[in-house]
């Protein structure tokens, strides 16, 4: 599978590291915003072709699929361009920063019949897969998910602390991870939701703190707290409170409510959620099937985010 990579930031590198572990998959091209940085990135990672334009990449016959780890505001338009050029596409989270754009990507996938997948990595982390398997087996039912997503971010910077050209968003990016995971794990539609936000940053123009509450048709609750004001520890911490136990997940680690470590090393072929996500993308293309985290499957998440945004605007 010959893949082009969009972006030269922290998550582009995570995808490169994941693909390096996948047989019969190779990144043959990378495109970025500036020539100097993109050329240096291609040289550093041994990528034979680089460009500053997606169009240059899509014209190449040796590119079968594209992974987009580009700025959020570009995701939808770039995903549609890839599909219309006959390339399968995986879009890093979020798929879009509006419901209309997310719907447009879904429509493009349905027109072309190609594989289109969103990078909702939490579906693939072994810790969350372990919980999902337990739910599917009828051994655990979620009563409440209590989730904290905490960062300290006062400038436009990526996960490595490097400057970037676009502004992140608590609702359309970070909440998307948890809202999708909640409905995926519970397997029920969200029937009630509420959101509150704190003051907007005077320069970034975004809310720095947010609180979200949700309820599914079966009564499961989500309580989600998000902040760019938290001075460590960083990341997202998930507490699954259920009828037969309590589990705490952080990325690929899982413990019980009594601090007992759960071995999730045998849940999948890797402990790397990004790698597992990329494996699913490549496998779906090869097998001609819909992937887990397809753009259709995650559309309900963006509907929920849209509804929350409407609350904030009103």
pLDDT of residue 251: 81
Residue 122 DSSP code: G
Within 10 A of 313 (CB to CB), how many other CB atoms are there?
6
* Contact between 252 and 272 (Cβ < 8 Å): yes
Tens place of pLDDT per residue across the chain (314 aa):
999 999 999 999 999 999 999 999 999 999 999 999 999 999 999 999 999 999 999 999 999 999 999 999 999 999 999 999 999 999 999 999 999 999 999 999 999 999 999 999 999 999 999 999 999 999 999 999 999 999 988 877 766 667 766 668 899 999 999 999 999 999 999 999 999 999 999 988 889 999 999 999 999 999 999 999 999 888 999 999 999 999 999 988 999 999 999 999 999 999 999 999 999 999 999 999 999 999 999 999 999 999 999 999 98
Distance CA 46, CA 48 (A): 6
pLDDT of residue 170: 94
SS3 123: helix
- Assess if CATH 3.40.50.720 describes domain 2-119+274-294: yes
pLDDT of residue 46: 97
In the chain, CATH 3.30.360.10 covers 125-267
Nearest one of 188, 81, 80, 106 to 141, comparing CA atoms: 188
Q: Measured between alpha carbons, how far is residue 178 from residues 47, 163, 224, 286 in Å? A: 33, 25, 8, 29
Distance CA 78, CA 175 (A): 22
> What is the CATH architecture of 125-267?
2-Layer Sandwich (3.30)
Nearest one of 239, 230, 276 to 259, comparing CA atoms: 239
Phi and psi based region of residue 219 (left: phi greater than 0; alpha: psi -120 to 50; beta: remaining): left
* Contact between 26 and 52 (Cβ < 8 Å): no
Distance CA 269, CA 11 (A): 21
* Residue ranges in the chain assigned as alpha helix (H): 10-19, 35-45, 54-58, 75-84, 99-112, 126-136, 175-186, 273-287, 295-313
β partners of residue 313: none
Report the share of the chain in percent with pLDDT over 90: 90
Could you read off the pLDDT of 121-165 as tens digits, one per residue? 999 999 999 999 999 999 999 999 999 999 988 877 766 667 766
In the chain, CATH 3.40.50.720 covers 2-119+274-294
pLDDT of residue 165: 67
pLDDT of residue 204: 85
Nearest one of 70, 181, 195, 72 to 135, comparing CA atoms: 181
pLDDT of residue 205: 87
């Amino acid at each position: 599978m010959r893949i082009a990579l969009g972006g030269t930031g922290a998550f582009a590198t995570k995808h490169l590291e994941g693909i390096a572990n996948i047989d019969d998959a190779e990144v043959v091209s990378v495109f970025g915003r500036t020539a100097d940085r993109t050329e240096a990135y291609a040289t550093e990672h041994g990528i034979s072709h680089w460009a500053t334009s997606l169009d240059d990449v899509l014209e190449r016959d040796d590119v079968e699929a594209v992974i987009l780890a580009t700025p959020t505001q570009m995701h939808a338009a770039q995903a549609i361009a890839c599909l219309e050029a006959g390339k399968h596409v995986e879009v890093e989270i979020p798929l879009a920063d509006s419901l209309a754009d997310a719907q447009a990507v879904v429509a493009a996938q349905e027109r072309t019949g190609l594989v289109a997948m969103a990078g909702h990595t939490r579906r693939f982390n072994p810790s969350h897969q372990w919980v999902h398997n337990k739910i599917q087996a009828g051994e655990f039912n979620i009563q409440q998910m209590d989730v904290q997503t905490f960062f300290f971010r006062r400038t436009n910077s990526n996960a490595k602390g490097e400057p970037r050209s676009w502004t992140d968003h608590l609702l359309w990016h970070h909440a998307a991870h948890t809202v999708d995971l909640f409905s995926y794990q519970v397997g029920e539609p969200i029937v009630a939701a509420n959101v509150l936000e704190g003051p907007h940053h005077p320069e970034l123009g975004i809310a720095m703190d947010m609180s979200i509450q949700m309820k599914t048709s079966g009564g499961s609750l989500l309580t989600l707290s998000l902040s760019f004001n938290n001075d460590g520890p960083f990341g997202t911490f998930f507490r699954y409170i259920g009828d037969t136990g309590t589990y705490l997940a952080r990325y690929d680690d899982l413990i019980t409510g009594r601090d007992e470590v759960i071995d999730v090393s045998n849940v999948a072929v890797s402990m790397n959620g990004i790698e597992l996500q990329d494996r699913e993308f490549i496998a779906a293309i090869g097998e001609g099937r819909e992937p887990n985290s397809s753009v259709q499957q995650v559309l309900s998440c963006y509907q929920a985010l849209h509804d929350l945004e409407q609350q904030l605007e009103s």
